[in-house]
Amino acid sequence: MQHIEFDTKWTMVVDIDKCTGCGACMVSCQAENNIAPMEQGSNKLKTLTWLLVYELNNGKDFPNREVAYLPRPCMQCGHPACVPVCPVVATTKDEEGGIVSQIYPRCIGCRYCMAACPYHARYFGWLDPVWPGGMDKALSPTTSTRPRGVVEKCNFCHSRLLNARERARNEGMDPNKLPDGWYKPACLEGCPTGAISFGDSKNPEHKVHELIKDPNAFRILESIGMEPQVYYISRRDWVREQSDNHLAEDKH
Amino acid sequence: MGIDRRTFIQLVTGGVVGSLFTPVIWKSLDDASIWSQNWSWIPRLKYGAITEQASLSKFGASPCAEIVKSVGGSPYLTKGNGENEMSKGGVDPISASGPQLMYSPSRINGPMKKVGDGKYESISWEDAEKMLSEKLAAVKGQKGKLAVVSGDNTGTTSEVLSGFATEMGSSDCYLMPSEEQGAAVALSSMGGKGQIGYDLDNADLVLFVGADAMDSWGPVVRNQRVYSESRPTGGEITTKYFYAGSFLNNTAAASDKWIPIVPGTGAIFCLGLAFHLLKSGASASVSDFDDFKTLVMSRFTPDKVEKAIGVTGADMAAIAKQLSSASAPVVVAGSEFGAGAGAADVIAASAVNMLLGRINEKGGMKILPNLPKAVESAIDRSELAAKDFAGYLAGIAAGKVATPDVMMVYAANPVYSLPQTEAMASALAKVPFLVSFSTFMDETASTADLIMPNPTSYECFEDAQTPYGVGAAMLSACAPVTEPMYNSKATVDVILSVASGMGIDLGYESAELLFQAKAEKAGADWDSLIEGAAFVSDSTESGSIKFAASVLSKAVSMPKGGEIAFAPYSKLINGSSTMAIPPLNVVLVSKNELYGKDLLVQVNAKTAKKLGKSEGAKVKLSGAGGECVARIHINEGVMNDVIAAPLGFGHTAWDVYSSGKGDNISKILTVSTESGTGLSVWTSSFVSIA
């Protein structure tokens, strides 16, 4: 399986205990990445949301029920399962920083990558994207629009990385050593509780460098070895246990 | 030489292998993929200079200070404005799609007059203002003939409307029901003046009673930011959060402790805590302390409280102990869905704060001054907030109050969002001339006789003063980010123009001058405000407040029990009382709240068993005001004998993104009158299920 290490590792850390499930991150993501609105949202197999907030619960009956919210972007895996299965090389992980790219015009819509992704982070455009009225006038200049029939996914708002690098070059700095906070995905900017942290986990000057070492930090389905670049933090045992598909009858 | 089988296979194999090494096939596949996606109708992106400008979003339930990003002058994205204290750098899920909402299919393109049932004709602004002026001239100086209601509690536009109503001789100017209403009546009952606020920033223990601070109570985004600051990722928690309510909503989910209590019993819960505080020696030097103590010690004993709300005496004592041992605790009461809780809950929570010595203290409950009025004839803000629009309309519906000849509705949707919706809508239908100053074609605009579209806050000057719940008096403002998209006109400008034509001088010639004057009177710098900073005052009202024991004595009664209590809840994902589900929010709606066109309501397994209903069962919910159809979803985050249901569905107007989805549960909310204050309340509603 492909595994390339880069000097920079763009990493997202989500504090589950701070997420209130408000959904502002999902809306910001759609606005930034030109995801067209859908008339019906109930069929979750066909809705298109690069970032999805899952509702978790501890499985206990009232009054011992607890709920947590887990925002799930693309995990930008270190060993991405989606990359080797793509017959047309529409998805790769070959740029400094380790973001898994998705080249829409090259995608033939075979959806092998969706079948391979254990995080369900890839989305197929089942429907024609339609921006009603004049809503296409509010399209973001950062992300190309996609027709139906291709697979889409979160790319950590990659265009913002390009902008940050350009800014660094203009200011005479190394574009591959961006200061903390120069590159922020839209979901982070939209999150009102500051549950999302982002940066280069290999750079000791970035906050996430320490956060991923937090004793309560974990990655989802860590045991299958995808090496995601998205970490979560929760003080709650049951949240951490569910992250690896832990079953009640399993031994710890 | 003939071609034998071996030669044939060699040729075919050679051809296949050869084709794999030629780029022609791969290039053709790549090109075919590109060509097949290169459809003419796919919108092209707009390029140009990317700029950022501070603005104010009034799409959500509370004003949100934002930075709007534009490309070539066209807004396309918002982010929080960290420099503004009003929302401290966050955005809510409605405001996050503000630029897209500017182009919503529900936008009203220009002024329209009704020409038949549901039929409208576009007219010019000149004709629209003339039509309105004629109707207003006919009622000028006649009491009870003109009514005004505003859905914008914080804008100076509401001052203009109330000043205009006063000058017209009308005393019927209202705000739409909100949390602020109960708080205003509570403060008045306690002998205070100004506005209640909470300094959550400096508290170390926050107990929300009913108040869904993360989704519908107060300045939601600011609440979330303050909550977040007290628990840095990877760091130590500095403020504990407790939530007492009947449903495991977003506030309960984020809190350190969820205390389930029966819907509409926040006052009983608070007075139950007061019992333990009083028992441990807490007191306050207030004139009616003895009356209050007698009331609590006789009527809110642990056994009675446990029977009423389901929390044991031991648990209540433990919570009271945690409050009294915290260094900066504060108790915040409110409704679980942003309106209808009445005053008793706030008075009872204030009583606990008083016993804890937390009034006007750092991190406690604050009594904030109202900012000076910009329009002299306007009703005082606290007085306006306390007025009871639901009660007024219920009076019209019942024939006890005379129907006004003209009603002006600004930034509000009473046809959809009031309790006992159908009765309220029938009262509005009685009004001979209904005018809607709305940005969107909502249910109220769809029935109005005259529609005068108001631009969004990105297209005009706007301001917001001290949203209910913040811990300090403050003011924010914004200048237009872009030219108006449609033929809309700021309601302030319409009213100033109409008033001027009728010989009424409200003191200003334009919205911009009005908002500037408001800033000047408040002591704020106008230029700083429109650049994104908020003016914040650190002053509080002097003078003490009392317990209002006589009001509590009448207003708080123990529930009878034995019925299925109804617990509506509000989520900004599903819109607000003024906004339907925004287009970008459709995919966020939970499958446990809406499936296809069916609304889902939630009960726990024990209640479902008691009702004989299983997951997905279709039910009809009946309340005093009407009926709703829904499906059952089993959720263990709901109390026993409680049915929780989401607000925000069942729109009949708006657009394909929100119309015809689910049912409007406001229909089955029951309006009753709070004894002691006379305020209309609807948090204690019961339903029957068939």
Name the β-bridge partners of A13: A197, A231
Taking the CA of residue A181 and the nearest CA in chain B, the distance in Å comes to 14
Question: Please, are residues B87 and B110 in contact by the beta-carbon 8 Å criterion?
Answer: no
Nearest chain A residue (CA) to B261: A63
Consecutive sets of 10 residues in chain B, 690 residues long: mean pLDDT of each? 83 84 79 74 85 95 95 94 95 96 95 94 98 97 97 97 97 96 97 97 98 95 97 95 96 96 95 98 94 97 95 97 98 93 96 98 97 96 96 96 98 96 96 98 98 97 97 98 95 97 96 97 97 96 92 93 90 95 96 95 97 96 91 97 96 96 95 94 87
Strands B146-150, B172-175: pairing is parallel
Q: What is the pLDDT of residues A151-201, one digit of tens each?
A: 999 999 999 999 999 999 999 999 999 999 999 999 999 999 999 999 999
Query: What per-residue string of b and e applies to B65-103 under the rule 16 or more CB within 10 Å gives b?
Result: bbbbbbbeebbbbbbbbeebbbbbbbbbbbbbbbbbbbb
Alpha-carbon gap, residue B582 to A8, rounded angstroms: 38
Chain B contact for A147 (CB, 8 A cutoff): yes
Please, what is the end-to-end C-alpha distance for chain A in angstroms?
Answer: 28
Distance between B256 CA and the closest CA of chain A, angstroms: 10
Q: How far apart are the CA of A159 and the nearest CA of chain B, in angstroms?
A: 13
pLDDT for A248 beyond 80: no
pLDDT digits (tens, 9 = 90+) for A72-104: 999 999 999 999 999 999 999 988 999 999 999
Report the C-alpha gap between B252 and B264 in whole angstroms.
16
CB B471 within 8 A of CB B539: no
> Cβ–Cβ of A37/B100 closer than 8 Å?
yes
> What integer pLDDT is reported at residue B598 of this predicted model?
97
The conformation of residue B561, written as its DSSP 8-state character, comes to -
Alpha carbon A10 to chain centroid, angstroms: 11
Q: How far apart are CA B416 and CA A142, in angstroms?
A: 38
CB contact under 8 A, B37 and A145: no
Tell me whether the omega of the peptide bond preceding residue A63 falls within 30 degrees of 0, making it cis: yes
What is the per-residue pLDDT for A252? 47
Residue B5 is predicted with a pLDDT of 87
Q: Does pLDDT of A251 surpass 60?
A: no
Q: Which residue has the tokens 């929760």?
A: A234
Instruction: Please give the pLDDT value at position B316.
Output: 97
User: Which residues, in sequence order, are CB contacts of B289 under 8 Å at separation 6+?
Assistant: B283, B547
Decide if A65 touches B, using CB distance below 8 A: yes
Q: Where are the beta strands (DSSP E) in B298-445?
A: 329-333, 365-368, 406-410, 433-437
- Count the residues in chain B: 690
Contact across the interface for A135 and B640, Cβ inside 8 Å? no
- Taking the C-alpha atoms of residue A66 and residue B254, their distance in angstroms, rounded to an integer, is 10
Residues of B in contact with A150 (CB under 8 A): 37
Question: At A94, which amino acid appears?
Answer: D
The pLDDT, as a whole number, for residue B523 is: 97
Could you tell me what percentage of chain B is helix, strand and coil, using 3-state DSSP and rounding each to the nearest 5? Answer: 35, 20, 45
ipTM score for this prediction: 0.95
Q: Please answer whether residues B332 and B307 qualify as being in contact, where contact means their C-beta atoms are separated by less than 8 angstroms.
A: no
Give the nearest partner residue to A192 out of B80, B104, B656, using CB atoms. B80
Instruction: Give the SS3 label for residue B310.
Output: coil
Query: Measured between beta carbons, which residues in chain B are less than 8 angstroms from residue A41?
Result: 586-589, 594
Quick check: A68 contacting B, CB < 8 Å? yes
**Which among A27, A47, A144 has the least Cβ separation from residue B45?**
A144
Please name the residue of chain B whose CA is at the shortest distance from the CA of residue A196: B233
The CA distance from A76 to A83, in Å, is 11
Question: What's the number of CA atoms in the CB half-sphere (13 Å) around residue A93?
Answer: 28
CB of A192 within 8 Å of any CB in chain B?
Answer: yes
DSSP label of B440: B
For A137, which residue in chain B has the nearest alpha carbon?
B74
Strand order in the sheet with A217-218: A196-200, A10-15, A230-233, A217-218
- The Cα of B200 is separated from the nearest Cα of chain A by a number of Å equal to 14
Mutate to test the interface with A, among B41, B67, B215, B233 (most CBs of A within 10 A): B233
**What does the DSSP 8-state code read for residue B668?**
G
Give the 3-state secondary structure percentages of chain A, helix then strand then coil, rounded to 5.
20, 15, 60
As a whole-number percent, the residues of chain A with pLDDT over 70 amount to 96
Q: Is residue A139 within 8 Å of B76, Cβ to Cβ?
A: yes
Q: How do residues A47-74 score in pLDDT, each as one tens digit?
A: 999 999 999 999 999 999 999 999 999 9
| Closest listed residue to residue A159, CA positions, set A144, A147, A169, A173 | A144
Residue of A nearest to B640 (CA): A62
List CB contacts of B651: < 8 A, sequence separation 6 or more: B416, B443, B580, B581, B658, B659, B660, B661, B664
In total, chain A counts a number of residues equal to 252
Strands lying side by side in the sheet with B64-71: B50-57, B64-71, B74-80
Among B320, B339, B317, B340, residue whose Cα is nearest residue B331: B320
Backbone angles phi, psi at A42, to 5 degrees: -75, -35
Task: Name the closest residue on chain B to residue A103, using Cα atoms.
Answer: B34
Expressed in angstroms, the distance from the first to the final Cα of chain B is 89
* Three-class secondary structure of residue A10 per DSSP: strand
Mutate to test the interface with B, among A50, A193, A207, A236 (most CBs of B within 10 A): A193
Tell me the chain A residues in contact with residue B87 when contact means C-beta distances shorter than 8 Å: 192
With beta carbons under 8 A apart, name residues in chain B contacting A188.
none
| Phi, psi at B184, each rounded to 5° | -65, -45
Contacts of B33 in chain A (CB under 8 A): 88, 105-108
Give the residues across from B595 on adjacent strands: B598
Mutate which of A12, A18, A27 to disrupt the B interface (most B C-beta within 10 Å)? A27
Is there a contact between A149 and A68 (Cβ–Cβ < 8 Å)?
no
Instruction: Give me the DSSP letters along B118-166.
Output: TEEEE--HHHHHHHHHHHHHHHTT-TTSEEEEES-SSSHHHHHHHHHHH
